[in-house]
Amino acid sequence: MVTLGLVLDGSGFPKKSEIMAGNISEPSTLKLMLDQLTQQTGESSQQSFQKRTVVLDAGIATEDNLKWLSEEKYQYVVVSRSKKTMPEKGKLITLKAGPKSVQGKLIRNKTTEEWELYCISEDRKKKEQAIKSLFRQRFEDNLKQIGESLHKPSGTKKLEKVHQRIGRAKEKYKRISALYEIKVVPDEYHKNAVEVTWELLVEKETKKLTGVYCLRSNIKKTTATSLWSIYTNLNQVEEAFRAMKSELGMRPVFHQKEHRVDAHLFITLLAYHIMHSIRLTLKKAGISQSWESIRNILCYQFRVTTSVTTKEKKIIHIRKNARANIDQKIIYRAMGMKNIVNVIKKTMLDKNGNVVT
């Protein structure tokens, strides 16, 4: 296994990369990654990144790592690891408008001396509601199976065993099971269960999974908009790795020799530079689709080659682009490729295959 450490600039272009061992825990690698990414400069990681801000996701933003960053005089913006609810105090402002709007409140935590930006995302809320609905259905199906087994000849009926099955279901779906009140009705001897019923507690259900998350920062002077802008850089990094791992085929790596693995990752980085240049150009023109969407739009335009042999045994190849649709034309114009839409190219070859001018 290998880990690719990457430093991106504000526009999302890789500025520095380092290949490291991948068989170690992420939270324990922060100092190692910063040191290795800066060792070529001859400076310490703190000196090299003195005026820069470290942005971390929740997986690596442990309290130990945040303490170390503070001791090394780093500024940081991280996603809180604990579940948060939107506080009542504070002014709610719009951080991102549109269908996937994001609103936030900036609160000063006097205990930790950090700024906390509580964000509520409509897109995140929809995703969490979809996950919640799926887990609710699976949990209820599990409870239904437990109840149905009470009426089967070989089903589990012992009261203790039934409670154990319900306990395992609660543990498996712990994010959702707390929203339910479950009752097991025993027989007159309190040995077997005769019925399992459950009820969704609406009051609890409305408070869970609200689409709220919290950003923590030790930057002394900042604003909600500034913190949000810094945090979106993390999304660019994650998007870069998603693109490299999936759309550019960085994984899986089938090579066994180290120098071939290095070459594989290097070529992937070069491809990402080209891809990101295209996406940045399109974004400036108001086109924000993913790379996969761009490819899907363009893949339906093709080039037709017609070959004709003359009496003189000369072969004429006529190549013409298929007619571009509206979406394809918009992309071409944004890239400054206006002449590609209806290009016709004619090539004549003699009987030996040489081009005739």
Residue 176's pLDDT band, with cuts at 50, 70 and 90, is confident
d(CA 126, CA 327): 28
Rg (CA), the chain: 29
Higher pLDDT, 123 or 203: 123
Q: How many residues does the chain have?
A: 357
d(CA 220, CA 123): 30
d(CA 196, CA 8): 55
pLDDT at 345 over 80: no
Residue 51's pLDDT band, with cuts at 50, 70 and 90, is low
d(CA 182, CA 166): 9
CB 17 within 8 A of CB 269: yes
Higher pLDDT, 265 or 214: 214
Q: What kind and span of H or E run contains 107?
A: strand 102-109
Higher pLDDT, 89 or 346: 89
Window from 143-147, 169-173, 249-253 with minimum mean pLDDT: 249-253
d(CA 65, CA 316): 68
Give helix 326-334 / helix 291-298 axis angle, nearest 10°.
120
Tokens 């990369």, residue located:
17
Residue 129's pLDDT band, with cuts at 50, 70 and 90, is confident
pLDDT at 204 over 70: no
pLDDT at 47 over 60: no
End-to-end CA distance of the chain: 55
Q: Give the C-alpha distances (Å, rounded to integers) separating 324 from 125, 211, 278, 289.
A: 38, 41, 19, 18
**What local confidence, expressed as pLDDT, does residue 340 receive?**
61
Task: Find, among 314, 296, 297, 316, the residue nearest to 306 by Cα.
Answer: 316
pTM for the model stands at 0.59
In this structure, the dihedral spanned by the alpha carbons of residues 281, 293, 124 and 206, taken in order and rounded to 10 degrees, is 150
Residue 127's pLDDT band, with cuts at 50, 70 and 90, is confident
d(CA 297, CA 292): 9
Residue 292's pLDDT band, with cuts at 50, 70 and 90, is confident
Tokens 């809180």, residue located:
80
Higher pLDDT, 53 or 178: 178
**What local confidence, expressed as pLDDT, does residue 237 receive?**
64
**What local confidence, expressed as pLDDT, does residue 216 receive?**
93
Residue 9's pLDDT band, with cuts at 50, 70 and 90, is confident
**What local confidence, expressed as pLDDT, does residue 7 receive?**
73
